[in-house]
Amino acid sequence: MPKREAFTVQFLARMDNAWPWKISLTEDTHLQLKGSDNTQNCRIWARENPSQMQQLPLHSQKITVWCGFTATFIVGHFFFEEIGLLGPVNSTNNGTRYEYLLRNQLIPALKQRGCVDSTIFMHASSLRSLQHQ
């Protein structure tokens, strides 16, 4: 039996019917504060010219928002930002900040719901920003 088929058979034999309801998926996105959209996360269908261009500054102000969700509830929204001299400053999602979010915001939120031990965490963010931490 090929390895993938063997894995599938073993996996299905051990699978709990409630398992899909316990998966927590995650997503983060950068929201531009000047009203433009992140085209990797947002698609807008419109009647206007689809080739229309909108010029944007290279480093416009933005905020990074993260949330987790299961089939039954949403955890978050949490913001990646730091407090600078002039107020909140967007910060890049790196391994240190992500670990802080998991330990200090996600895990307590799951504990509050009584499901921290049964939730299966599926990370769906950009691993490139986390791999060097």
Domain limits, the chain: 24-30+59-123
Greatest distance between any 2 Cα atoms in the chain: 63
Based on the number of CB atoms within 10 Å of its own CB, is 31 exposed (0-12), middle (13-18) or buried (19 or more)? middle
Instruction: For residue 20, give the H/E element and its range.
Output: helix 19-22
Contact status, residue 4 vs residue 102, Cβ threshold 8 Å: no
- pLDDT exceeds cutoff 60 at 127: no
pLDDT tens figures, 50-86: 666 666 666 667 777 888 888 888 888 887 777 777 7
Using one digit for the tens of pLDDT, what is the confidence trace for 83-121? 777 766 666 667 788 888 888 888 898 899 888 888 877
Q: Going along 9-102, which residue ranges are E strands? A: 23-32, 62-69, 74-84, 87-90
Looking from the CA of 124 toward its CB, the CA atoms found within 13 Å total: 16
**Per-residue pLDDT at 133:** 45
What average pLDDT does this structure show over 27-36?
70
